[in-house]
Amino acid sequence: MGKNKKELLLGNEAVARGLYEAGVELVSSYPGTPSTEITESAAKYDDIYCEWAPNEKVAAEVAFGACVGGARAFCGMKHVGLNVAADPLYTASYTGVNAGFVIGVADDPGMHSSQNEQDSRHHAIASKIAMLEPADSQECLDFAKMAFELSEQFDTPVLLRLTTRIAHSRSLVTTGEREKRELKDFPKNPEKYVMMPAMAQKRHVVVEERMLALRDWAETAAINRTELNAGARIGVIAAGDCYQYAREALGVSANYLKLGMVNPLPVQLIKDFADKCERVYVIEELDDIIETHCRANGVEVIGKELFSRLGEFSQATVRKNILKAEPEYLSAKAEIPGRPPVLCAGCPHRGVFYTLKKLRCNVSGDIGCYTLGALAPLKSIDVSTCMGASVTSLHGMNKVRGSEFASKSVAVIGDSTFAHSGITGIIDIAYNKGISTVIVLDNSITGMTGHQQNPTTGYTIKGDPTAAVDLTALCKACGINRVRVFDPYDLSAAEQAIKEELAAEEPSVLISRRPCALLKQVKHKPPLVVDEDKCTGCTSCMKIGCPAISMKGEGKGRKAVIDFTQCVGCGVCSQMCRFGAICEGSGK
């Protein structure tokens, strides 16, 4: 990647390029859609040390340590990850930094791949940390670099907020060179870095003064840009993707105050802008943060009375709400069935969920591909909230509902999620004499976010072999005596293992072990085929909810058909067939 060359980069890739150019030495992150590619892309630069941490709290502390250690450091996460990292974040605000420290956080308005759509700007306000928000890939690169300048200038961590449509959109970027930076001296300054009451009380004063200084900076910063258009009477205040939607819908018929810094917000700049407009709209996805700020400072604006707190916006949202314009479009007469996401053909989780449904288990679920086990026809998850909560929530349920409930209830948690925050739940169960049965769905990878290595896989982010957590030994060391492994492709073995561990009057951990079917190194069997003479059309094979099997034909001719483009020959469906109608294929 040469100097001043234009490239079509994903917002996340552009952030990574910005980290490289800013001379960042260390990146530690936990994957989470839509933030994952920042760290994956950063790992492609040999000059940056990158790692996947077990969770976001660890990642943020590692990056904080690196910045105290004298080098620019970054950690990236999705919005809910910032909750996990909130503990170090709120106190790093007090200590400030040595070299620059930037936290990238990607919000997911519309919940394309998330369990909630919280607005991470609240964390910036509550932790009293500056937050920048880019509106395209070039700004992703530029703002990432600027975040480090601000971090060092104002002695503060800086948050870089993306949303899905910025993180996962490609646009043209001009790249530059990497800045050469020396390691700063290691500080021996407990007054600043040891946060116990006497010191922290003094640092809080510094934090409040810093916020005022940052607000002054925001009043004149070039990234808070006023665009006045001849003849335009209305004004729009927006940041990030919302600015782009407004530009698309309103063009030069509006004036814009395009905010690049969303915390702290300027006051005089907003007042001056509003004075030049007949009417001012605040367009912001999720919560009314800019709007509330405007009103608190006596600026009349129109915001959430028109624009929803729910989901993501588009140019159509702006046209509908401001121009009262609806598009013309074509549509088919037929009712179009939905196409929800599904567990892939050959997914090792399928056998576990089929078995849990068959045994009528109560299932405490977790965050990952396997959350899809909640959907028809497997429909085998009863509750799922956040990372690691499967294990702990099951323990709580079992404590109040007793051993009969426990004997038909399990938690399911993936290998990466287990390393993230499942282990502490296992310790709680063992320590507090629980009897819960936990199934670790070990598919040898972090699946949902697109195949990242994790502490259980034996490989680093760069693909180098490394130590792997021994799940069996770990659980035993926590005090769980019953730990066993089964293959989820073998339905009878899975059923036997789950039944026996549910019956045990003590806690147990079952490890369902089989690599993700999408992993490149997994060798597949040829697609299976249906012997039409043997198939009776009974639909038993349909109960496993494999997207590669469907029923075709009418009446007595209605038979199961296997889609050769999807089937990976896992053989779970053939175990469902009493007539031996599903056979190994020739691969031709």
Partner 1 sequence: MENTCKVVDTFDIMIVGVGGQGTLLASRLLGEVMMSMDYDVKVSEVHGMSQRGGSVVTYVRAGERVASPIIEKGEADLILAFEKLEAARWLPYLKPNGKLIINTQEIDPMPVITGAAKYPENIIDDIKAAGANVITVDALPLAVEAGTAKATNVVLIGVMAKAMGIPKQIWLDAVKDTVPPKFLDMNLKAFELGYSR
Among 155, 216, 219, 227, indicate the residue that binds partner 1 (CB under 8 A): 227
Residue 566 lies near partner 1 (rule: CB under 8 A): yes
Choose between 280 and 448: whose C-beta lies nearer to partner 1.
Answer: 448
Q: Report the residue number, 338 or 557, with the smaller CB distance to partner 1.
A: 338
Site for partner 1 (CB under 8 A): which residue of 13, 119, 136, 442?
136
**Identified binder of partner 1 from the candidate list 187, 190, 311, 341, rule CB under 8 A:** 341
Assess 477 for contact with partner 1 (CB under 8 A): no
In the list 558, 564, 574, 575, the residue contacting partner 1 (rule: CB under 8 A) is 564
Give the one residue of 2, 197, 327, 557 binding partner 1; rule: CB under 8 A.
327
> For partner 1, which is the closer residue by CB, 328 or 533?
328
Should residue 113 be labelled a site residue for partner 1 when binding is judged by CB under 8 A?
Answer: yes
Closest approach of partner 1 to the CB of residue 494, in Å: 22
- Name the strand (E) or helix (H) holding 473: helix 471-478
End-to-end CA distance of the chain: 43
- From the CB of 277, what's the least distance to partner 1, in Å? 16
Shortest Cβ 565–partner 1 spacing (Å):
5
CB 170 within 8 A of CB 137: yes
The nearest distance, CB 127 to partner 1, in angstroms, is 26
What token pair was written down for 283? 């367009």
- For residue 107, the minimal CB distance to partner 1 (Å) is 13
Secondary structure of 40-81 in HEC code, one letter for each residue: HHHCCCCCCEEEECCCHHHHHHHHHHHHHCCCCEEEEEEHHH
User: In this chain, which stretch among 48-56, 188-196, 295-303, 368-376 interacts with partner 1, using CB under 8 A?
Assistant: 368-376
Using CB under 8 A as the binding rule, whether residue 155 contacts partner 1 is answered as: no
Compute the distance between CA of residue 173 and CA of residue 17 in angstroms, rounded to an integer.
10
34 binds partner 1 (CB under 8 A): yes
Q: How far apart are CA 77 and CA 38, in angstroms?
A: 9
366 contacts: CB under 8 Å, gap ≥ 6: 384, 387, 388, 389, 390, 391, 411, 412, 413, 414, 417, 422
Which residue lies nearer to partner 1 by CB, 113 or 385? 113
Asked if 517 is part of the footprint of partner 1 (rule: CB under 8 A), the reply reads no
| 3-class secondary-structure state, position 383 | strand
Q: Rule CB under 8 A: which of 6-25 touch partner 1?
A: 6, 8, 10
CB 359 within 8 A of CB 499: yes
Please say whether the beta carbons of 483 and 472 come within 8 A.
yes
**Contact between residue 419 and residue 469 where contact means Cβ atoms under 8 Å apart:** yes
Token pair for 474: 């770990």
| Shortest Å distance, C-beta 367 to partner 1 | 10
Structure-token pair, residue 351 = 């056998």
Q: Would you count residue 529 as binding partner 1 (CB under 8 A)?
A: no
Rounded to whole angstroms, the Cα distance separating 430 from 478 reads 7
User: Which residue is associated with the tokens 């494999």?
Assistant: 546
Can you give the length of the chain in residues? 588
Q: Which residue, 197 or 327, is less far from partner 1 as judged by CB?
A: 327
- Scanning 48-56, 284-292, 488-496, 560-568 for contacts with partner 1 by CB under 8 A, the matching segment is 560-568
User: Computed from CA positions of residues 389, 390, 393, 395, in that sequence, does the dihedral angle turn out positive or negative?
Assistant: negative
User: Backbone phi, then psi, for 13, in 5-degree steps?
Assistant: -65, -35
* Residue 376 binds partner 1 (CB under 8 A): yes
State the chain's maximal CA–CA distance in angstroms. 82
Looking at beta carbons only, is 169 or 385 nearer to partner 1? Answer: 169
Closest CA to 501 of 489, 490, 512: 512
Q: Judged by CB under 8 A, which of 196, 198, 222, 336 binds partner 1?
A: 336
Question: Does 328 engage in binding with partner 1 (CB under 8 A)?
Answer: yes
Contacts of residue 400, defined as CB under 8 A and 6 or more positions apart, other chains included, come to none
Stretch that binds partner 1, among 369-377, 411-419, 429-437, 580-588 (CB under 8 A): 369-377
The footprint of partner 1 on residues 239-268 (CB under 8 A) is 241, 244-245, 247-248, 251-252
**Cα distance between residue 81 and residue 105, in whole Å:** 8
The residues of the shown chain that bind partner 1, judged by CB under 8 A, are 6, 8, 10, 33-34, 36-37, 112-113, 136, 165-166, 168-172, 225, 227-229, 241, 244-245, 247-248, 251-252, 314-316, 327-344, 369, 371-372, 375-377, 448-450, 542, 545, 547, 549-551, 563-566
